[in-house]
Amino acid sequence: MDQEIQAKYLVLQNIIKDYGQVLVAFSGGTDSTTLAKIAYDTLGSSAIAITGESETLKEKELLHAKTLAKEIGISHQIIKTDELRKESFASNPSNRCYYCKHELFSKLIERARANKIPHIIEGSNLDDLSDYRPGYKAAQEFNIKSPFLEAKLNKSEIRHLAKSLGISNWNKAAEPCLSSRIPYGTSIDLNNLRKIEAAEAFLDEIGFGYRRVRFHETIARIEVNETDFSTLLKHREVICKRFKELGFLYTTLDLKGYRMGSMNETL
């Protein structure tokens, strides 16, 4: 392990050790998995992981989170969140993520109090501070701890650390909630979320590691890496056919390629 990352790792371990007992907000992504692993290695049974089961979360992501928790050995619980039934979220304002995290953290607070756990921790890192992350405001309001920020770790360092610790998803592509595929101001409903999930699952079957299907009513805007453009065009007929079955009249390729948070470009 790189010396600088090793030093930050020791700082991180001490931060978590000082918490004494923690509840980890566990999505199953690389950041939260690494955090859960280190929390469990440091605190043992004094660390538990909780995943919010939501209609905006892909079913395979929930199953993946369960598998990862078993790999780590940490006690894992599932709670239901209901952000889709709240107009403040479903109307899809530009600070949508704030309402999503507010719903999640309020439920985690209840569970932490019931289990007499003093601290909730989550996986924000230094790179998140340079992006538009209204959900982090909710974390601050609920006094949710962010150990990676305290230890000054960025995303690449967390991936390096995860790989060193033998975490299986150390290089997993980011998989934010399905709502992030829908333009701000366009209402979020269950039917459209399922259409997006099915469309991305079809691209997964073809073999795209990095992809997004952005929802624009009757139009599906596909983002893949530029190096995958030729592969997508090679499969364009079957993709268009499948997407039309899902309800998209038109299927387009975004020539800018795959990028996280492209919906934020309108802000």
What's the pLDDT tens digit per position in 9-27?
999 999 999 999 999 999 9
| Burial of 185 from C-beta contacts in 10 A (0-12 / 13-18 / 19+) | exposed
Q: How confident is the model at residue 138 (pLDDT cuts 50, 70, 90)?
A: very high
Section 142-158 average pLDDT: 97
Q: Which CATH number fits domain 178-266: 3.30.70, 3.20.20, 2.60.40, 3.30.420?
A: 3.30.70
Nearest in space to 137 (alpha carbons), one of 96, 196, 178: 96
Tell me which CATH code domain 3-164 carries. 3.40.50.620
| Burial of 203 from C-beta contacts in 10 A (0-12 / 13-18 / 19+) | buried
Tens digits of residue pLDDT in 207-264: 998 999 999 999 999 999 999 999 999 999 999 999 999 999 999 999 999 998 888 8
Residues of the chain with CATH 3.40.50.620: 3-164
Q: How many helices (H) and strands (E) does the chain have?
A: 11, 7
Section 145-172 average pLDDT: 97
pTM summary value: 0.94
Residue 266 has pLDDT above 90, yes or no: no
Residues 6+ apart with CB under 8 A from 41: none
Residues of the chain with CATH 3.30.70: 178-266
pLDDT at 1: 76
Residue 182 has pLDDT above 90, yes or no: yes
pLDDT at 164: 96
Report in angstroms the alpha-carbon separations of 261 from 152, 258, 265: 23, 10, 8
Helices (H), the chain: 3-19, 30-43, 59-72, 87-90, 96-114, 135-141, 147-150, 155-164, 190-206, 229-234, 236-246
